Chains A and B, each alone.
Chain A
Amino acid sequence: MIRTRGLVKRYGSHAALDGVDLNVPAGSVYGLAGPNGAGKTTLLGILAGLRKATEGEVTVETEPGEVSVLPDTPRFDPWLTGREVVALALTLSSGLGSSTAHEHADRVEEVLGQAGLTEASVRRCGGYSRGMLQRLGIASTLVARPALILLDEPASALDPQGRREVLDLIATLRGCATVLFSSHILGDVQEVCDTVGILHHGRLLFQGPLTDLLVGRAVPRYELRVRNNSDAVAAALSREPWVTSATAAYGGIVHVEVTSLADAELRLTGALAATGASVVSIRPEEVSLERAFLELTS
């Protein structure tokens, strides 16, 4: 659906994008992860046709009217109601086409409901909170059923419940549209995306299925929590031959990397008992996108 080859964007001598080869499969939910300033917004702007690339090729296999973009802080004319904003987005994107005015109104109501804005839709959006504006932006983005949706940090301004709703909404788009979703919140990317790209200082450090990223970096780890003497516990465990490393962290936490989960399952409890530590909890640590990201960028 989207391919870039050697994409470069320079602002003066600073390269915001440096040879990015992006490949977004049709129908996927692609998460573009990276810290603030990584070049995510610049990349989305180029894909949306809002910025010019300095070098490189961009191929977006869809009609211009089939692309919908949500900026990170959507803003609208404050004297329009929420319903009018969504209705305007629908008209601008699709015209009336073969649909009737009644079908348009039904579609507007539907997406307002999905965004949780039905009650607020009669109010002027100048009085909306930032989270409500974000949800209004998402409703405006989805209303015309675009084939390609570019979302720039769509959940970053929302409270936990709003974020949950937006992430669920994005997850439901899988298969219906191609979604390219940028975020510096790696948990959000891990939760809803099937394909991920790690952008750092304008370079794409990894791109591919999320499972490839996580499995490739899977190291068997446990997180222990002891009542006290975590430093001594870590020191004792690190002397075990089946322990690769053991480090104490704040709050009685001990991170233990082991040679294999099987060894740990057999020996960890015994080794802990030998230290005399008062154990609060033991749990295997799953590989997170955050850890994979830190490994890639360190």
Chain B
Amino acid sequence: MSPWRLELLRLTRTKKWAALMGVYVAFGLTGPLSARYMKQILARVGTDGATITVPDPTPAAGIVQFVSNASQIGTLVVVIVVAGALAFDAIPEMGVFLRTRVSPAWKILVPRIVVSFAAAAGAFVLGTGVAWYETWALLGAPDAAPVLVGAALGVAFLAFVVALTAAVAQRMQSVLSTVMTSLVVLIAMPLLGLAPAIARWLPTSLANALADLPSGGTMNDYWPALGVSLAATALLVWAAFAWVGRRGA
């Protein structure tokens, strides 16, 4: 029983893989569908005397709808799954079991971070693939290159989310406090992004790249955020490794 197999079992036996796959695949299916039938949906819910005009759906709209639905709930699920794997001191006896057997302590984190990230990225890519197929079937094929680049930037954002949660988990005493603290940081970033000069530097802006690039956005808008995100991810992983070895007070 290796630590890598332990993490795979954690994903499968606790059904966390199903939560990750479920949320992204579900939004991959429903996003393009709702974009395709938005007019009809609004016509049904519209009231007498009010006219809602919606432009005809484009292939890019299918991907936009997927991102707008999946980015927030998907990120929430990723944070919860990652926190469950990385906040092992939430059960102090588990922390003792691991810390007294693995030296140096950062080795405990490697399989947990890698497997959690792989599962989150895999689910996101699968959801993107499903959204792409659904869009192709209902609205026509979106351009491949912007979708692929947007998906890659989305994966980079998820790496940042996993690293952030990993670092936070080493400072917190429970899964709940890890989730809440990580979410506060992730929610605070878009608020900072209300200042246009800052927005393009924030890792959270990468989450929208998959919607923006097929709609005409350019990669130039994302280089600063990508650079910051990669640097912050490396820094946060280093911090998690440094903090996991700390001894109790």
Chain A interface (Cβ within 8 Å of chain B)?
45, 48-52, 64-65, 67-69, 71, 73-77, 79-80, 84, 87-89, 91-93, 140, 144
Please give, as numbers and ranges, the residues of chain A lying within 8 Å of B14 by CB-CB distance: 79
Measured in the bound complex, the distance between the Cα atoms of B93 and A68 in whole Å is 13
- Does B100 touch A at the CB level, under 8 Å? yes
Per the CB 8 Å criterion, the residue count for chain B at the interface is: 23
- Interchain nearest-CB distance for B112 vs A (Å): 12
Q: When the two chains form their complex, are residues A50 and B94 in contact, meaning their CB atoms are under 8 A apart?
A: no
- Interchain nearest-CB distance for B161 vs A (Å): 23
Q: When the two chains form their complex, are residues B9 and A80 in contact, meaning their CB atoms are under 8 A apart?
A: yes
Q: When the two chains form their complex, are residues A88 and B1 in contact, meaning their CB atoms are under 8 A apart?
A: yes
Q: When the two chains form their complex, are residues A75 and B94 in contact, meaning their CB atoms are under 8 A apart?
A: yes
Determine the residue in chain B with the shortest Cβ distance to A88.
B1
Within 8 A of A (CB), among B1-51: 1-3, 6, 9-10, 13-14
Query: With A74-B93, A79-B9, A92-B102 in contact, do A84 and B1 touch (Cβ < 8 Å)?
Result: yes
Q: When the two chains form their complex, are residues A92 and B3 in contact, meaning their CB atoms are under 8 A apart?
A: yes
- Does B242 touch A at the CB level, under 8 Å? no
Q: When the two chains form their complex, are residues A52 and B91 in contact, meaning their CB atoms are under 8 A apart?
A: no
- Interchain nearest-CB distance for B65 vs A (Å): 36
Query: With A88-B6, A91-B2 in contact, do A73 and B93 touch (Cβ < 8 Å)?
Result: yes
Q: When the two chains form their complex, are residues B100 and A75 in contact, meaning their CB atoms are under 8 A apart?
A: no
Chain B interface (Cβ within 8 Å of chain A)?
1-3, 6, 9-10, 13-14, 91-94, 96-103, 247-249
Q: Which of B92, B101, B103, B249 is packed against the most chain A CB atoms within 10 Å?
A: B101
Measured in the bound complex, the distance between the Cα atoms of B5 and A87 in whole Å is 11
- Interchain nearest-CB distance for A5 vs B (Å): 19
Q: When the two chains form their complex, are residues B91 and A75 in contact, meaning their CB atoms are under 8 A apart?
A: yes
Measured in the bound complex, the distance between the Cα atoms of B249 and A50 in whole Å is 9
Q: When the two chains form their complex, are residues A52 and B94 in contact, meaning their CB atoms are under 8 A apart?
A: no
From B1, B13, B103, B247, contact of A51 by CB (8 A): B247
Determine the residue in chain B with the shortest Cβ distance to A68.
B100
Query: With A67-B100, A73-B93 in contact, do A49 and B247 touch (Cβ < 8 Å)?
Result: yes
From B9, B92, B101, B249, contact of A93 by CB (8 A): B101
Q: When the two chains form their complex, are residues B93 and A75 in contact, meaning their CB atoms are under 8 A apart?
A: yes
Query: With A76-B94, A80-B9, A91-B3 in contact, do A45 and B101 touch (Cβ < 8 Å)?
Result: no
Please give, as numbers and ranges, the residues of chain A lying within 8 Å of B249 by CB-CB distance: 51-52
Determine the residue in chain B with the shortest Cβ distance to A144.
B101
Please give, as numbers and ranges, the residues of chain B lying within 8 Å of A88 by CB-CB distance: 1, 3, 6
Measured in the bound complex, the distance between the Cα atoms of B96 and A69 in whole Å is 8
